[in-house]
Structure 1
Amino acid sequence: MFVRAPQDLTVADKSEAVFECEVDAFPVAKVTWSKDGKPLTVKDGAETQAQTDKGLYTLRIPQVDSTKHMGTIICRAENAIGSVEHPFQLNITTAPTWKAQLKDIDVLRGQDAILSIDYQGYPIPEIIWNRADKVLESDNEKIMLSEDRKQLTIRNVQIENEDEYNARIVNEFGEITSKGKLNVLELPEIQPLLVDKDIQIREQIEYSTTITGRPLPEIQWLKNQKPLTASPPHIIIETVEEDVIKTTLRIDNIVSDDDGTYTIRAKNRAGQKESSSKLNVLAKLKFFKGIQDENIIQGQPVTFQCQIEAIPKPKVTFYINDQEVKSTAKIKVEAKGDVYTLAFSKVDLPDSGTIKVVADNGTDKSEITAKLNVCLKPSLVGKPTEAQVSIGQPARIQCAFTGLPMPQLTWSRVDGQPLNEGIEIANDENSGIAALVFNTTTMTDKGAYLVKATNVVGAAEQKVNLDVKEIKPTIIRDLEPAINATKGEPMTLTIGANGNPKPTARFFRGVEEILPIEGQIEFKESEDGQTFTATI
């Protein structure tokens, strides 16, 4: 127990302070001196002495320092039986000094603002709170001062309470002043809030809102929580900042990639607010590009491709003759973006049929079809049938072709001349037979004929010859073996002949041909073309 406890002491700054105590204890007590929870040591400018036989203990501070020593000091005595401690005050007469000055503070409008200070000095200074030139005192409504006047509370702060506040600390040795700014803040507000929207593709949409806050917030538009700082050209952001912020996000000619969540974010020192809209881009299921009928040679590749606009994205299925098609070694089914492809590395005859595409997104369903015709080019079957006849006889020339589909057959003359009248074209395209029928041949029918077989994937040509032979002339009335002629009188030579084509006649005297001379030599031919006369 303390027989004599240390007493409070007031000394001048930089002077000596001595504290003594007497302790009655058995076993002998250990006495420690501490300030602010830490033992006072030589490093702190303190000295301690102990006369344990008399129970006397001393704390000596040769040169007190108001910043280190002023305040409450604890004297603690303890032994194996227990402990006891006694607080006492060391007051150092000094001008006030700051331990904690006023700081600028941010307070939300409607909340309480608390301005705090801490100091040291002795004698205990007077604390005077000011706003501009007005001294502030507690009014139990708006202004509250703590009992030690180190804390000023302003209740339910409003914009008009924003100002600079002063705390002045005064005692007989001096005074100090501290200033702090009260900033009244308001959380960002967004009006109207964004709402979810459904929009058709290629239409336009606009989000407009007004943002307030104190200080005026910084704003940012986001898509799917990523800033729209480098937005596509069809997304336009317009912002006007005055007493409030008015901002608009407009999306022109909406595409499917514009689907997403759009957010306006406003942030100031008071906090952050966001408002979001889920933009659902819709598109009625539509085939922008359909598949086309294809005529493909057997063994060749072919691709059917379509482009589909639809939101939500559809499930697309290909069918051949109503059987679903999946990718195999020969067939590849794939989708890239809105383009869907069915590709054959080669086609075979059994692949012919109807290709169908069915698109279904749960909201709409549509289908398109096209024909796949696996074809064979026309080709000659066997050898052509040519003809050799005498003039006037009937004739038939022909050849056979195959192909898929069966080819169309056309005839022409190799020399480019038109077919003679009376020639019958006797083609049978179902069986691939191309034929020309001559009921009666003439010499003009003689020649080479060209037959052309054509289908959707190609053509083939074949030359067919018709040879027409002439019938040699036959003498049916020969010249008289001897002719008696009278000088000065006319003489007639007559010969009869036939043949096909109709023959012509020429007269000779020895080896010299007799030619007509007006008034002297005259030639005539009978109407039937079989009798020829020369009159001299």
Structure 2
Amino acid sequence: MEAPKSVNDQSCVFGQDTQISWKFSGIEKPQVARSFDGQPLPTNNRFQVTETGDETSTLSILQAELADQGVYTARAINAVGEAEATTKLNIVCIKPVIKADLNAALQATKGETMTLNIAVSGIPKPDIVWMRDNDELTPNDRIQVTILTHDVDIYTLTILNMQPEDQGEYSAKISNIGGSLQSNKCKVTISKSPVFVVKPTIQKVKQGETALFKTQIDECPPPKISWLLNGKELITKEGIQVQFDDTTGQANLSISNVDLQQHAGSITCRLEKPYGYQEETFQLAVLAAPIIITELPKEQEIVSGQDVTLKVVVRGSPRPSAQWFFKDRPIGTNNASIDEANDEYQLLIKQATVTQSEGTYQVVLKNEVGEVQSIPCLLTVLEPVKLTRVKPTSNIIDLGEGKAFDITVDLVWG
């Protein structure tokens, strides 16, 4: 019995199919036993043996693996004798090659998803390790690594809900048994336009107490925050404190010992951006009990039949209501008015008379915080004087030289 060349070499690319064939000749058909590196040939679906009528024995290896590299032996035996043939199989690997690398820089948005892709070829399929700066990234629910297999494999890193701590230089280490290499570095920065997650709200604070405004901001990088009172920027000083936590985005404004004249009005929180700004405006209402700035006069005189206006200047917040009194009895509001621009409360007394108008006036001012009472004002109504001639009765008088002359009149008031 004759065998083919006793030893030969054969190569196969990793992952591809290959065949090893042996042909024996002899008078009697031999029985062929096969082995791998001195051990019986593995029995699995990847190893298939076929024999043809011309006494050719073929071993097919499907999707060759590195473990398949070695020496394959076929031994043929018949009644006359035996023969052996050996084939050395080499598995060829192709080292990784980057077909499409990372970009040098990427701008990601805070809270959204970032994706990095690398196209790589190599046999066997390369392994990949994603890096941020010098730290290896471990896949989890938020960090995902996927491979899309084509002629060139696409390796994808996906990070959900990007946060400021995800900034850094990203790269990939790629390797197989044929070799290894490293991708370009991609500098990832995180940004986000400012958003008020929690907006400041209207504050009602009693005079002398502390007003505290809170807001929460989502922006990356942290913005410059300004607080304004009635359009004028507030500066940190005694009584005014401004705080910002760039980790939580919490911004606070504290105004202690609030004063109606100094602090009431519009408060604005402004987030400054490279191109413009975003802001929210709300009100600070300082609650103050009424106080009288200008009192009623203690006494006032008016000629009968003329009009007179009693005035008192009062400040308070909310704006106080006024109740006027005449001789301790409340007066209707028909002739009462308010000059809001000057905080002046007025009572108009029309065509004053002694019987209806003369007496003591007072006003009580009240709001939800407190009340105040003015001093009483005594209004005196003056009646005009009337003269009635008694004598002489004639309008023409003859006077003698050196004689006395008398005129007699009656005085009547009113």
Q: Name the TM-score class by shorter chain.
A: 0.3 to 0.5
Q: Which is bigger in relative contact order (C-alpha 8 A, separation at least 6)? A: 2
**Bigger Cα Rg:** 1
Given the two structures, how large is their TM-score scaled by the length of structure 1? 0.38
